[in-house]
Structure 1
Amino acid sequence: MKDHRVYEVAKQSFEKWNINVDNVLEQMKKVSISIHCWQGDDIGGFEVNQQELSGGIDVTGDYPGKATTPEQLRGDLEKALSLIPGKHRVNLHAIYAETNGEVVERDEIKPEHFRNWVQWAKENELGLDFNPTLFSHPKAEEGLTLSHPNREIRKFWIDHCNASRKISEYFGKELGTPSLTNIWIPDGYKDIPSDRLTPRKRLKESLDEIFKVETEASYNLDAVESKLFGIGSEAFVVGSHEFYMNYSLANNKLCLLDTGHFHPTEKVSDKLSSMLLYHDQLALHVSRPVRWDSDHVVTLDDELREIGLEIIRNKALDRIKLGLDFFDASINRVAAWTIGTRNMLKSLLYAMLLPHEHLKQLQEDGDFTERLALMEEFKTYPFGAIWDHYCSEMGVPIQESWLHEVKQYEDEVTLKRTTV
């Protein structure tokens, strides 16, 4: 009863600004975040001939209890999802295929290798998204895939991407919600290149060849993802932001922005309004870089709040495919999912509880004093009481009480993986 009174008082604070909190909470229930599976197993996957991580990707930490089987990974995801309000999606990589002990090359993966994932998604009312895995493979050891000088290597990865798109199409058809296929490649050079144009020309030709194979748009959505640099590609990345921004616009594909793939002082939040003027849809992978693309767990920092504000104030919630991409092996992995996803949702709820039309008008009128004053005052409005009420209404723990469930799950499930 006390908590409900706190909520009612908080609600009145927002409603005096004509913000309909009930409508906001109904809108929140429709938000669907694509939660990346690879936080749960440190991007290991389940290939029979499992490779060491490569392609500029590194996972640090040795927290015990990571998932080592598909069943464990799905169980851990279920636990995290039970602590996160709303109905969401799960994002898979090709290396999470289940091949029953058979070695299946990546250019030969098929929908049947993801049948268990689809059945699980149906049981849990989840959508699925997909990514071809163009790293951690002998044919990617030189740091080049779709831009490789060797035509046979390029063809292998072209075929892998199209096999992945067919799997995504299968997801969309089976689950009744379009699946996003996101292509990211590690291609680049450690030192200053003598030729930037030729690798980019090859990448363009490879992508053109991939997208010549048609998929059903109501089942599969194609996206391409840029990067500024990586470990081993510090001087030059073939698939830069400018490359993919232009390619996606010219070819009617989604441009995916990863918040860790830019200069340390560059803000993805600032890019969204410009991109939305020219793109019908965008995709986001929300991460938290710390001095480099380190993929820390998402916190409710200034940039995350600005991302939420840009999405909501520009009425773009139905135009931006929201996903997460972080992997921290130094903390409990179920907790990492829970913290990061709840924070992404908090940023959207925070944004929904602001009087955007009034603030916009103040800017148009040149009243920058009131604009700044109100934007600062709303930072300490009782947003937390609204969030707690929303969590309670959705049947998930409020405040930090979810942590008890994670610790109990750790004691009963994940820690036992290291002692048997």
Structure 2
Amino acid sequence: MTSKERYESAKEMYKEIGIDTDAAIAKLKEVPVSLHCWQGDDVTGFDHEGPLTGGIQATGNYPGKARTPQELMDDMDQALRLMPGKKKLNLHACYAVFEKGEYADRDKLEPRHFAKWVEFARERNMGIDFNPTFFSHEKVKDGLTLSSPDEATRKFWIDHGKACIRISEYFAKETGVPCVMNIWIGDGYKDVPADRMGPRLRYKDSIEQILSEQYDKKLVKPCVESKVFGIGVESYTVGSGEFTLSFAASHEGCLPLMDNGHYHPTEVVSDKIPALLCYYPEIALHITRPVRWDSDHVVLFDDETREMAKEIVRCEGLDRVYMALDYFDAGINRVAAWTVGFRSWQKALLSALCTPNEALRRLQEESRLTELMIMQEELKTYPLGDIWAEYCRQCGVPEDKSWFEDIQKYEAEVLMYR
């Protein structure tokens, strides 16, 4: 049986439970997912030298790390060729591209420092999302940025945030796609603090000052991202879940951003997505795989990944949830890491689109819970792989593991010479 024949057979099986697989494939082709540039160079960026600081750490030393903007773009291109679906580019501010002999500190960054990224994105029909970089910089004073009691330090980082607002609007105007600008800081304390409220009041004021910068709210979507704790701030994190949710709720146009690695191991973001969609017109999501807390492993087609995608689809949130990948594994081929993660999230979305959510909802509402359990279990062995293969064929990318042959060739011919 050919792949096309297998698809037609699978299509009939799904049709029996009320699913139009052609429509599911067509829908998924229009759902943008942001691909994070920082997987390709272990979050190093181009505006500083030395190790990562500020609660960020990439582990591993696999050969072939991108060292220049061009190498990073080449590596992303290699990955993009192997990924089905619609993409956006996700940048950190530390990836500014300076002309030879030029440098601008983070509070002085301008749109022109990202012109090459705009050119890259436009040539590939991609929008751009953006993140101010509040780490790995000499002006992170005593581990603090926007919550610092030192006003000069705080002003530097506020000015950086304002610069990023202007750059985000530039991205949106140049690409014709709204830019999601995410604010995350690693501020906190390793041991028990004497003042928990003061840093949060300073952080609140800092974000408000950043958002006072004039921008078109249809073009720029500012977010605040929470975290439980980080490296070196195990006892207290300024930007907690309660803080960021409350800030977004009380500031029009500001979105909450959930990273599913930023919670207690027994918490699941799949349960939080429908809760937030009850109140927020739009939310943002960073998708990772937290083996141990925020360990930023490559996204796989695992249970929680599938549940997050299911909740987005069944809550009719595909137009309300801004989705972006966020992980950095330096222990494996970095281009393969991009490809596996993106394809895994696409599989999860396709699985969600091929789930008879209305029928399952009726079973729940009618208290036919035994039948609901059985149906949910039966769906796990439906031939999604044949639907996935058809989706990949229509997108012009490899449908099976043969894509890894391209990665191996690229590693042998390019990465091993770095």
TM above 0.5, yes or no, is: yes
Q: 1:120 Cα shift?
A: 1.1
Q: CA deviation at 1:218?
A: 2.5
Letter paired with 1:197: M
- The answer on whether the counterparts of 1:54 and 1:141 sit within 8 Å (CA) in structure 2 is no
Instruction: Tell me the equivalent position of 2:182.
Output: 182
Query: Could you tell me how far apart the structure 1 residues matched to 2:406 and 2:98 are?
Result: 33
Query: What secondary structure does 1:14 align onto?
Result: helix
What's the % identity of the aligned pairs?
50
Question: What residue number does 1:304 align with?
Answer: 305
Please report how far the alpha carbon of residue 52 of structure 1 lies from its aligned counterpart in structure 2 after TM superposition: 2.2
* Equivalences, count: 416
| Kept after mapping to 2: 8 A contact 1:226/1:258 | yes
What does residue range 83-102 of structure 1 map to in structure 2 within 5 Å? 83-100=82-99, 101-102=101-102
Tell me if structure 2 keeps the 8 A contact 1:132–1:182: yes
| Residue aligned with 2:221, SS | strand
Question: What CA distance in whole angstroms lies between the structure 1 residues aligned with 2:220 and 2:212?
Answer: 14
Cross-structure match for 1:76: 75
Equivalent pair of 2:40/2:335 in contact (CA under 8 Å): yes
Question: 2:365 maps to which residue?
Answer: 364
Q: Distance in 1 between matches of 2:15 and 2:147?
A: 55
Q: Which residue in 1 is equivalent to 2:233?
A: 233
Partner SS, residue 17 of structure 2: coil
CA distance in 1, matches of 2:405, 2:297: 22
Matched letter for residue 405 of structure 1: D
Q: Is the 8 A contact 1:170 1:219 kept in 2?
A: no
Q: Deviations over 1:341-371 (max 9, x none)?
A: 1001110100111111110000000000110
- Inter-partner Cα distance in structure 1 for 2:200 and 2:66: 37
Instruction: Give the CA RMSD over aligned residues.
Output: 0.9
Contact 1:110 1:163 in 2 (8 A): yes
What's the offset of the Cα at 1:141?
A: 4.3
d(CA) in 2 for partners of 1:244 and 1:254? Answer: 9
| Secondary structure in structure 2 of the residue aligned to 1:400 | coil
Q: Secondary structure at the match of 2:416?
A: helix
Please give the alpha-carbon distance, in whole angstroms, between the structure 1 residues aligned to 2:115 and 2:207: 27
Equivalent residues in 2 for 1:202-241 (5 A)? 202-241=202-241
**Partner amino acid for 1:312?**
V
Q: Deviations over 1:215-239 (max 9, x none)?
A: 1122211111010000000000000
Aligned pairs for 1:125-136 within 5 A: 125-136=125-136
- Please say if residues 304 and 344 of structure 1, whose CA atoms lie closer than 8 Å, have aligned partners that are also in contact: yes
> How much does 1:51 deviate?
4.1
- Structure 1 match to 2:36: 36
Asked if the contact 2:309–2:352 (Cα under 8 Å) also holds between the matched residues in 1, the reply is yes
The match for 2:289 is 288
Residue in 2 aligned with 1:410?
411
**What letter matches 1:171 in structure 2?**
F
Residue identity in the other structure for 1:119: E
TM-score (norm. length: structure 1) = 0.98
Whole-angstrom CA distance in 2 between matches of 1:290 and 1:2: 38
Report if aligned partners of 1:179, 1:221 keep a CA contact under 8 Å in 2. yes
How many Å separate the matches in 2 of 1:98 and 1:356?
46
Q: Distance in 1 between matches of 2:296 and 2:345?
A: 15
Quote the residue 1:374 is aligned against.
375
Q: Could you tell me which amino acid in structure 1 is paired with residue 87 of structure 2?
A: H
Which consecutive aligned stretches of 4+ in structure 1 deviate over 3 angstroms post-superposition? none
CA distance in 1, matches of 2:77, 2:127: 14
Equivalent position SS for 1:139: coil
Tell me the CA shift for residue 18 of structure 1.
Answer: 1.6
| Structure 2: gaps of 5 or more residues | none
Q: Does 1:316 align with 2:325?
A: no
CA contact (8 A) 1:108 1:160 kept: yes
Displacement of 1:50? 2.5
Determine if contact 1:172/1:218 at 8 Å carries over to the other structure: no
Q: Check conservation: 1:226, 1:239, Cα contact below 8 A.
A: yes
Match of residue 356 from structure 2: 355
Deviations 1:19-46 (A, max 9, x none): 1111111101001110100000001111
Code of the aligned partner of 1:408: K
Matched residue type, 2:93? A
Measured in 1, the distance between the counterparts of 2:218 and 2:274 equals 26
TM norm structure 2: 0.98
| SS at 1:35 equivalent | strand
- 3-state DSSP class of the match of 1:315? coil
